[in-house]
Chains A and B, each alone.
Chain A
Amino acid sequence: MRERDDDLSQCVEECEIAVTVNGNRHEHTVPVRLLLSDFLRHELHLTGTHVGCEQGVCGCCTVLFNGEAVRACLMFAVQADGMAITTIEGMAGVNSELHPIQQAFREKHGLQCGFCTPGIIMSVHAMLHEHPDPTEEEIRHELSGNLCRCTGYQNIVEAVKLAAERLRLQHMEVE
């Protein structure tokens, strides 16, 4: 039994992690079973990342993990060690001006209760980064990973179209 303890000694129940969230570095000791979504909400108090189903279906907990949209409820905080995460709190500018995607959702009324909105904004951010000029069909397809039970998606699609247009313009001006 001695040998057994030695070999599995690297298997831990708690772990020290250093995660960069929205540009800020955080060092925490976390239980290994802590979900990334709960780490963001309960340890860092970034409660904009919502938790709906905790089985990867609803999309409310979508965050950017090294730039890619992922379900925070299907990862452990320990897996974020050394990684960069962006949450909805990281979207607005330094003076709290809304990100163009957020502004478009506001103008087009792309939400009612708002529970699904943070996850949708993060997904849309990743989508528009990869496809700056999506068709309506592509937008609807990419939104299929986020459930909204209020709006019927029509205004969400309109908001994404507006956001895409503004981001393309912004991008052209920068160039």
Chain B
Amino acid sequence: MKPPRFRYCSPRILDEALVLLDQYGEEIKILAGGQSFVPLLNMRLAAPAYIVDINHISELHYFETEPDYLAIGAIARQRQVERSVLVQEKHPLLVEVIKHIGHMQIRNRGTVVGSIAHADPAAELPALLTCLDGEVLAQSMHGERVIKAKDFFAGYLSTTLEAGELLTEVRFPWLARQAGWSFIEFARRAGDYALVGAMAVLTPALDDTCMSANIAYFGVAGSPIRARAVEQVLIGTQLDAHTLDAAAGAARDVVGEDMQDVHATVEYRRELASELTRRVLKQAWARREQLEGAQ
């Protein structure tokens, strides 16, 4: 349980890291919070020749509000975002999601962007980014790319980030003022990876029917899943009992056929997805803000 040998450097400015990545990207792994990466090293599941530690690149240490989204830089710790009064007020769903990540000792080191880059299909933040149609910013010596969440996650621990690119920022869109939201995950023990997690953002129209729905799951397939089929069931309804039954039924299909492991069977995960759907929809709809003039 000791890491294999590697060579290490910790550049102070972003350009230095990008130069190294540009020339030797395939041999380099980036170290940010290290809360997923160092266990992989300790277990020798990863053995990169070079580790570039970005913790000292102070220009990546930020989170700031933009008109359409909250931008989080690569070195902002999960715990800093969680503790921020500004984020608590303006993006309570993000704070709720972060509170479910590991334990406080993990969140003190772990970064928001690192969790996105690691792309664990059972992790909370990639699912939230998928749910909200968020974006990431990838920078390299040759410029930068903004990548939509749906084009970023590419299966188990895989992303479309290219060798030479560094994930420098993640963008979580704001919720509409009247939107209601909910996040629930089911884990055997506090702090464990969830067997299944679900989240919903529901936006009511003037007539208090559901105008838009963003529903996403994690722990159900190789990547976080946005469930369009479940969303379609909800549009135009007032989430009556019949609609909830239909949505809970549709949610069973989000669980992949191969999601059978020592922790749970496929059928068990389907039951969880179905029940969690019912619960997040009820809670999100109860939290919506009914617009003036609503009937």
Contact = CB atoms under 8 A, between A and B. Distances in A.
A58 to B, nearest CB: 11
Nearest to A140: B190
A32 B48 CA distance: 13
Contacts of A145: 102-106, 191
A75 to B, nearest CB: 7
A4 to B, nearest CB: 7
Interface stretch (A6-14, A95-103, A160-168): A6-14
A9 to B, nearest CB: 9
Tell me what chain B mostly uses at the interface: helix, strand, loop, or mixed: mixed
A100 B149 CA distance: 48
A59 B103 contact: yes
A79 B53 contact: yes
Tell me what chain A mostly uses at the interface: helix, strand, loop, or mixed: mixed
B109 A32 contact: no
Nearest to B34: A74
B35 A144 contact: no
Contacts of A4: 23-24
B55 A79 contact: yes
A118 to B, nearest CB: 13
A76 B31 CA distance: 11
Interface in A97-150: 123, 126-127, 141-142, 144-145
Given A11-B50, A54-B42, A56-B39, A144 B7 contact: no
A33 B108 contact: no
A35 interface: yes
B106 A56 contact: yes
B74 to A, nearest CB: 16
Nearest to A7: B23
B191 A13 contact: no
A68 B104 CA distance: 9
Interface in B1-45: 1-11, 19-20, 23-24, 34-35, 38-39, 42-43
B242 interface: no
A46 B24 CA distance: 38
A45 B5 CA distance: 23
A16 to B, nearest CB: 13
Contacts of B51: 32
A15 B5 CA distance: 14
B188 interface: no
A74 B53 CA distance: 13
27 contacts: A4-B24, A7-B23, A8-B24, A10-B9, A11-B50, A13-B7, A31-B5, A32-B6, A33-B4, A33-B6, A54-B1, A54-B42, A56-B35, A65-B109, A69-B108, A70-B108, A71-B105, A74-B34, A74-B35, A76-B3, A76-B38, A79-B10, A126-B104, A127-B104, A141-B190, A145-B104, A145-B106
Interface of A: 4, 7-8, 10-13, 15, 31-33, 35, 38, 53-56, 59, 62, 65, 68-71, 73-76, 78-79, 123, 126-127, 141-142, 144-145
